[in-house]
């Protein structure tokens, strides 16, 4: 099992000024930052990142939203990183997220849900590679 996962703080959360509070929760939960950047995706880049969802009805909305503002992308390290991070952020839909989770605290809707977390070790590696070169990770 890999001990790394990948996250993005999404445009809704950066725009509302939640970046620092979300990073604080992540670090207090025991994740170490191994790579990080503040950036903005073009529509084409957002479309590529979420290509796995291409056939879903919300794909266009997702791509528009994820390219609508700045994001913070990061590779995080911890034992059992993928599963523990998904527990920390809570359900995709904040209305169903457990109390105290990042999405319960900071997300507005299933589309604008504050953070992304990889769903498997394989996708964590693919998603980290999408954003970071070998020189940008430690
Ligand atoms: P994320 O974990 O980044 O992975 C895929 C994203 O698609 C998900 O978070 C949601 O933000 C988004 N998503 C999932 N379901 C819907 C939906 N029904 N409507 C809009 N966006 C959705």
Question: Residues 45, 111: contact at Cβ < 8 Å?
Answer: no
- pLDDT at position 2: 73
Cα(126)–Cα(130) distance, integer angstroms: 6
How buried is residue 29: exposed, middle or buried, by Cβ count under 10 Å (0-12/13-18/19+)? middle
Question: Residues 105, 16: contact at Cβ < 8 Å?
Answer: no
Q: What is the mean pLDDT of residues 50-65?
A: 97
Question: Residues 25, 4: contact at Cβ < 8 Å?
Answer: no
Q: What is the mean pLDDT of residues 88-115?
A: 97
> What is the domain range of residue 58?
4-136
Q: Which of 4, 10, 103, 116 is catalytic?
A: 116
Considering its fold, how many domains does the chain have in total? 1
**With a 6 A CB cut-off, is 58 part of the ligand 1 pocket?**
yes
116 has catalytic annotation = yes
Cα(33)–Cα(107) distance, integer angstroms: 22
pLDDT beyond 90 at 71: yes
Q: Which residues contact 99 (CB under 8 A, 6 or more apart)?
A: none
Structure-token pair, residue 98: 């457990």
Q: What is the mean pLDDT of residues 11-15?
A: 98
Cα(22)–Cα(99) distance, integer angstroms: 15
Per-residue pLDDT of 86-96, as tens digits, reads 999 999 999 99
Distance 60 CA to ligand 1 centre (A): 11
CATH code, 122: 3.30.70.141
Residue in 105, 132, 127 with CA at minimum distance from that of residue 116: 127
Q: How many CB atoms lie within 10 A of CB 6?
A: 26
> If you take atom 3 of ligand 1, which residue's CA is the nearest one?
116
- pLDDT at position 1: 53
- pLDDT at position 101: 98
């Amino acid at each position: 099992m890999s001990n790394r996962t990948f996250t993005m703080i999404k445009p809704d959360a950066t725009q509302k000024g939640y970046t620092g509070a979300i990073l604080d929760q992540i670090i207090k939960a025991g994740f170490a930052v191994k790579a990080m950047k503040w950036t903005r995706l073009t529509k084409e880049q957002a479309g590529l990142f979420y290509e796995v969802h291409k056939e879903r009805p919300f794909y266009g909305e997702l791509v528009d939203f994820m390219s609508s503002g700045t994001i913070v992308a990061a590779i995080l390290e911890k034992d059992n990183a993928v599963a523990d991070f998904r527990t920390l952020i809570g359900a995709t839909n904040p209305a169903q997220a457990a109390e105290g989770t990042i999405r319960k605290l900071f997300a507005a809707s299933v589309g604008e849900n504050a953070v992304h977390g990889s769903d498997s070790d394989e996708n964590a590696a693919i998603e980290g590679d999408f954003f970071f070169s070998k020189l940008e990770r430690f």
